[in-house]
């Protein structure tokens, strides 16, 4: 987990494409919205390995997003139910259920369908917000953060120093 934070902060400060970080954040939120343990989530997760994105940001956004997702599960449930019971889509979903292995995606679960729908709807806003954050971080916030007393205190904590040293040794 420390390596993910370290990788993300290095990418935030490096001269890397902000799009890589923004796409990683948006994809991580999409994966956080979809409940884990089904074939759909596994396919989406494997798909991310074929993209040029920052893996640290992806994993951190999945982890941090998953913490807050239970708060919006009722919204996902309502949205998923509306999509799955829409009369125009019912024949399509019935055919999908008869297709081998498609049922393993659990698309017919209201929370899975609602989470996927909201993840797709919010992908572009999350991408835009992440791009704005990267620009703000690089132009102004980084300097304030490095000068803050909280950062100075954290860098003096022996346990934090040890973790950073171990992660540097493991990377090199």
Domains of the chain by residue range: 2-171
**Residue 130 banded pLDDT, cuts 50, 70, 90:** very high
pTM of the entire predicted model? 0.80
Query: What pLDDT digit, counting tens, does each position of 43-76 carry?
Result: 999 999 999 888 888 998 999 999 999 999 999 9
Query: What pLDDT digit, counting tens, does each position of 89-99 carry?
Result: 999 999 998 88
> What DSSP string runs through the chain?
-HHHHHHHHHHHHTT--HHHHHHHHHHHHHHHHSPSSSHHHHHHHHHHTTS---HHHHHHHHHHHHHHGGGGHHHHHHHHHHHHT-TTTHHHHHHHHHSTTGGGGTTTSHHHHHHHHHHHHTHHHHHHHHHHHHHHIIIIIHHHHHHSHHHHHHHH-HHHHHHHHHHHHHH-
């Amino acid at each position: 987990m420390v390596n993910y934070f370290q990788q993300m902060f290095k990418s935030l400060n490096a001269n890397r494409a902000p799009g890589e970080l923004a796409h990683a954040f948006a994809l991580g939120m999409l994966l956080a919205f979809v409940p884990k343990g089904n074939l759909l989530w596994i396919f989406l997760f494997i798909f991310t390995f074929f993209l040029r994105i920052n893996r640290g940001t992806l994993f951190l956004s999945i982890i941090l997003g998953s913490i807050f997702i239970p708060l919006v599960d009722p919204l996902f449930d309502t949205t998923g139910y509306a999509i799955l019971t829409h009369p125009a889509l019912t024949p399509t979903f019935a055919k999908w259920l008869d297709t081998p292995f498609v049922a393993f995606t659990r698309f017919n679960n209201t929370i899975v369908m609602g989470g996927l729908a909201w993840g797709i709807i919010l992908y572009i806003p999350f991408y835009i917000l992440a791009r704005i954050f990267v620009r703000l971080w690089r132009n102004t916030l980084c300097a304030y953060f490095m000068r803050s007393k909280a950062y100075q205190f954290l860098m003096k904590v022996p346990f934090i120093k040890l973790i950073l040293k171990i992660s540097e040794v493991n990377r090199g």
